[in-house]
Structure 1
Amino acid sequence: MRINKFLAKCNLGSRRAVEELVKNGEIAVNGNLCFDLTTQIDPENDEVEFKGKKILPKNEKIYLMLNKPKKYLVAHQDAFDRKTVYELLPDFDVHLFAVGRLDYMSEGLLLLTSDGDFANKIIHPRYKLPKVYKVLVKGNLDNEQLQKLRDGIVIEGKKTQPAIVFVKNRSQGKIQLRMTIFEGRKRQIRRMIGKIDGEVLELKRLQIADVKLGKLPTGMWRMLKPNEVLSLMNYKKKRD
């Protein structure tokens, strides 16, 4: 199998993420640093190392959802000693990584897994999995501004994919939106709102594809049900 697939099966990250490990010279194959993404790995005969330690594909795969609170960082550690989402989880004795982004001040549905192929399916732009958010915005946005969100906003020279935007409530110079986006750029919703002269006050992810946060309490986690994992893995196929 190709080296990126092998590394993903070793739970080092999604296929796209592990490609950076290869490019950065952090992977050795049979004692030699490997920089070639076309390298084929025979798990039975090749010895692969990451940071000097031999790695093997893991059989046990974990899929869970966390209701991320505000002021928790989606990272294993932080130079400023801020709390991280991993402090809310038990030690599973496998490397868990977050699927997609939720910034420090955002909250809601966060998926974590030890399955790199699963993560790649969720985050890769070509699959266009819908992600639903509740957004509280400072500023009484008008219909023209809202239509710009629906049509797409240019961020760093590239237009975002069209979004689904519903107004849920308007009150005292604030507007509550329900937004569905189909990609996951860094701080995407906050930047989109900023481009139309609004300011995001609260941002909560409610749903990814058919998997909903539901009534899971803030700061709590649960394992995904097998049908939820299959639903996410087969989402695009189901709609083709």
Structure 2
Amino acid sequence: MSDNFIFYLKIILQGLPDTLSLSIFGILSAGILAIVFSCLLSLNSKLLTKTIRTYIIIFTGSPLLVQLFLIYYGPSQFGEFLSKYPAFYDFISSPWFCAYIALTLNSAAYTTQIFYGALKSIPQGQWQACSALGMNKIQTLKILMPYALKRALSTYSNEVVFVVKGTALASMIPVMDLMGYSNALNGEYYDFSIFVVAGLIYLLINGILSTIMRIIEKTALTFEN
């Protein structure tokens, strides 16, 4: 059993770079998008608000797996046109890039709700104080957004973990991440312990990530203790 465990572990870990790169780039991109969308929502522009809310409804209301399939197989519907630009077509249709886009857009929708909710929960007196100092909306957001992000860390840490777990679906399009190699192994050996090994790796990654997020949260909120 121990020999099988080591054998499976060595092979499955070959997918770790794809899992980590999808997680890291997806989390960073989604976080940046969410900050931008939260600020735009705060500007109270009817057109922007409707557009962003429609985007949020679409990406929070549909399964991530469906989004992966649509983004991965979508470019092939324009193959005749895109064939004129082979390098660009190969790039946007690559499994890793499609998984990255799907994870980013999906996580950004949820993260926007978290960040915007934290922004709205800031006491009205702070908004009024900035206004009394002659600050416009954008200047006010520059002051209050960092504070809102600190308050959102506790909830946001859960979304970070969800992104890492969401990368497991990337093997369906297919990306050779941890689950990609696990599925390949299972197709050859039909051994359920393969997924036990994969599950332990995900558990370790998320455990480390959760610890890091708790440290960041504790450091960011030190001034309030």
Bigger RCO (CA 8 Å, 6+ sep): 2
After TM superposition, the score normalised by the length of structure 2 is 0.24
After TM superposition, the score normalised by the length of structure 1 is 0.23
Larger helix fraction of residues: 2
The structure with the larger Rg is 2
Larger strand fraction of residues: 1
